[in-house]
Amino acid sequence: MTQRILFLTGTRADFGKLEPLAVAARDAGYEITFFVTGMHMMERYGLTKIEVHKMPKVRVHEFLNQRPGDGQDIVLAKTIVGFSDYVTENKTDLIVIHGDRIEALAGAIVAATNYIPSVHIEGGEVSGTIDEIFRHCNTKLATHHFVSSEQAARRVMALGETERSVYVIGSPELDFHAAPSGVTLDDVRRRYDIPFKQYGIVVFHPVTSEQDTIGEQALALFGALADTGRSFVVIAPNNDPGSEAIFDVLDSLPKDQFRLIPSMRFSHFSELMKNASCMVGNSSAGVREAPFLGIASLDIGTRQTNRALASSVSCCEAADSAEIDAFVTREWGKRHAPDNSFGKGGAADRFVEILGSDDFWSGGLQKAFQDID
C-alpha cells in the first residue's frame, strides 16, 4: 500500500522549503497532500495558496485559521482544531512540518497527541524571538528530525532527542537556489513591474516580542535606506503581530525608489536574489540563501540573532543609520564566496533516501529523553 505523507504549510517561506521535499517524495511513489493554511489564505499576502495548487499530482486541502487581529494563541487553537479534524477524517502515515511558525506547532501537537509519526524540518536552530521557543517545542513533539547542519543536529540531541532520529540533509530551499531558476531577470522585471536596473532586496518582518517598537524600527530602517539613494525591491512582511505598523511605513515609501511586492513565485524570487546588489532586513533568507548565493546581507535587529556566521553577513540595529549607509556603500554589488553552512543543495534526495529505509518506519512512537554523555 502506498504510504501517505501530509505536509502542513502556513507561509510562502515554509512552502519554499517543503516543496522540494514533497516533489521528490511524490516522484518516489508516495501519496502527497498539502494542508494549506495561514498566510497562504490571505489576499494581502499574495494569496499564495495558488502556488501550492499548481503542484501536479498532489492533493491540497485549504483551511482558514485566522481573521485579522487574531492573537497567536487564537491562531494556534483554531489550527489545532482544523488540522485534528482533517487527520481524523483522512488517515496519514507521516506528517511533515517545518521550523518555528505557529501552524507548525499546531501540526506537531496534533501529530503527537494522535500518535502519528512526524518529521520536523530545520529544528535545532537559534534565533532571537519567540520563534526559537516554538521551534524547540516542535523538536520535542516530533518523532524524526531533518536538520540543516551538524551544529543543528547537536542542538537537537542536546534537547534529549536520540541520535538515530536526527538526519542532516541541509536546508531544502537551497536545492531550488542551486539550480537554474527557469526564468530570466527580464521575465521577473516584467511580471512584477520592477523598473530598476540595479536593486537591493529588503524583507523586514515583525518581531512578536517588539510589537510596541516595530513601527519605529521600520521607519528608521527605510528612512536610512531612502537616504542612500539606491533602489530597493521590498517583499511584504509576514502576518505576525506588528505587521500593520510595518505596512503603514511601506505604504508611504517613494515609489520611484521602492517597489513593494506582496509575494513572489519561488522561481522569480530566486532569480531576483541571484541578481541583487545586496539584501537587507531580518528574514532568514538574508542569513541562509544570501550567503549561499554569495550576496552581501545586512541583518537588522534581533530576529535572526546568532543564526548564521557567514562572513558576508553584517549586523546592526534598525536605528543605526550610519552603519546601514556604510553597508550599502561598502557592499553594493559586491560578491562573496558562497557559504555552505546550511548545505550545498540535494536535501530532497537525502530526504527520500531516508524515507526509503526500513529503519525510518520501524521505530516506535514512545520517546525517552536521552542524556548527553
pLDDT of residue 309: 77
**Are residue 191 and residue 298 in the same domain, yes or no?**
yes
Expressed as residue numbers, the domain containing 60 is 4-170+346-362
Domain-located, residue 252: yes
Question: What pLDDT is attached to residue 209?
Answer: 84
Listed in sequence order, the DSSP H helices in the chain are 12-27, 49-53, 72-89, 102-113, 130-141, 150-158, 173-178, 185-192, 214-227, 243-250, 266-274, 289-293, 321-331, 347-355, 358-362
Residues 313 and 200 in one domain: yes
**Number of domains observed in the structure of the chain:** 2
Pair (250, 166) in one structural domain: no
- pTM of the predicted model, to two decimals? 0.88
The sign of the CA dihedral 17, 35, 181, 351 is positive
One domain for residues 227 and 276: yes
Specify whether 304 is located in the same domain as 356: no
190 belongs to a structural domain: yes
Residue 368 falls inside a structural domain: no
Work out the burial of residue 67: count CB atoms within 10 Å of its CB; fewer than 13 is exposed, 13-18 middle, 19 or more buried. Answer: exposed
Phi first, then psi: what are they for 147, rounded to 5°?
A: -105, 170
Mean pLDDT, contiguous 10-residue spans, the chain (373 residues)? 94 92 98 97 91 96 93 96 98 96 97 97 87 94 96 96 96 91 96 97 92 96 98 93 94 97 93 98 93 97 82 96 98 95 92 94 85 79
Question: 231 and 314 share a domain?
Answer: yes
Together in a domain, 188 and 249: yes
What pLDDT score was predicted for residue 258?
98
152 and 237 belong to one structural domain = no
**197 shares its domain with 84:** no
Whether residue 121 sits in one domain with residue 219: no
Please give the pLDDT value at position 29: 97
Do 73 and 144 sit in the same domain of this protein? yes
- The reply to whether 96 and 195 lie within a common domain is no
For residue 58, what is the domain's CATH number? 3.40.50.2000
Which pLDDT score is estimated for 129? 75
pLDDT at res. 69: 84
Given this model, what pLDDT does residue 21 score?
97
Three cell numbers written together for 280: 537587507
